[in-house]
Amino acid sequence: MAESDPEVVEVLRKYIVGIEDLLYLTEDMLSLLLRKFDPEFIALALRGKSEKLQNFFLTKVSSRMKKDMREVLEGPPKPAHEVQKAVEEVMIYVREKVKTGEIVIDKSGSTKYV
C-alpha cells in the first residue's frame, strides 16, 4: 500500500493511535490517564513495549507510583492475554479522549499548548 498510495498511508499514520504514541502526551494528558487507570494497570499495558515508552512513564510519576509500576514491569511474567487486554483498555480510553480533544497526539511536535 505504501508504494501504490503513499498519501493514504501518510494519512493513516497520522490518525492511527498506537500505544507507542503515548510518548507524545503532555503532563496534563498523562494525569488524565493516571486518574482513569491504576499505575500498575498502565505498567501491565507497558510490558514488552519499548524501553523509551516505559521510561517516559516512569520519569513522569511520583516515586511511589514508580515503585509500583516497576514491580509490574520487572516482576514475574504475565499471561500475554492479560497484557493485551490492558493495552486494549488503555488505548480505547485514549482514542475516546482523542475524539473529544482531551488528548492530542501530535507526532510532529508542532502543537503549542497554553
Per-residue pLDDT of the chain (114 residues; tens, 9 = 90+): 556 777 765 655 555 678 899 998 988 999 999 999 999 999 999 999 999 999 999 999 999 999 999 999 999 999 999 999 999 999 999 999 988 988 888 776 645 554
Return d(Cα 110, Cα 95) in angstroms, integer.
Answer: 20
List the end-to-end C-alpha distance of the chain, in Å, as a whole number.
Answer: 38
Burial class of residue 35 in the structure, from the number of CB atoms within 10 Å of its CB (0-12 exposed, 13-18 middle, 19+ buried): exposed
45 Cβ partners below 8 Å, 6+ apart? 19, 83, 86, 87, 89, 90
**Which fold, 6-100?**
Annexin V; domain 1 (1.10.220)
pLDDT given at position 77:
95
pLDDT given at position 107:
73
